[in-house]
Amino acid sequence: MSSAVLFVIVAALLFGIGVYGLIIAGHLLRKLFAINIMGNAIFILMVAASGPLDGKPDALPQALVLTGIVIAVSATAFALALMVRLYQLTGQASLHNNEGGDD
């Protein structure tokens, strides 16, 4: 089995875990984890696509992944801050269905 195929399988598995977690998890922290796992799956895939491990890899996808990681980190930080605020206001860290909202 070539390493590329291995990467693809791992990425697919991680992505699947992420989607599952996002749907199933109730607690916002878990949902955030799930999204980060999905992101990592994609980063792995992009690194794998950048070229053979032994040869000279293409630098661009790696730069992209780096940028992606930076964005993922900041988005996660933002989401955590939002979650904390939500917890302070409602005492809960999960989502409810009340789209109309209060007055």
Site for another protein in 56-85 (CB under 8 A): 58-61, 63-64, 67-68, 71, 74-75, 78-79, 82-83, 85
Helix, strand, coil percent content, the chain, rounded in steps of 5: 75, 0, 25
The reply on whether position 86 binds another protein by CB under 8 A is yes
Beta bridge partners of 94: 27
Burial of 55 (0-12, 13-18, 19+ CB in 10 A): exposed
CB of 3 to another protein, least distance (A): 15
8 A C-beta contact, residue 49 and residue 8: no
The reply on whether position 45 binds another protein by CB under 8 A is yes
Residues of the shown chain interacting with another protein in the complex, contacts defined by CB under 8 A: 22, 28, 31-32, 35, 38-39, 42, 45-46, 49, 58-61, 63-64, 67-68, 71, 74-75, 78-79, 82-83, 85-86, 89-90, 95-96, 98-103
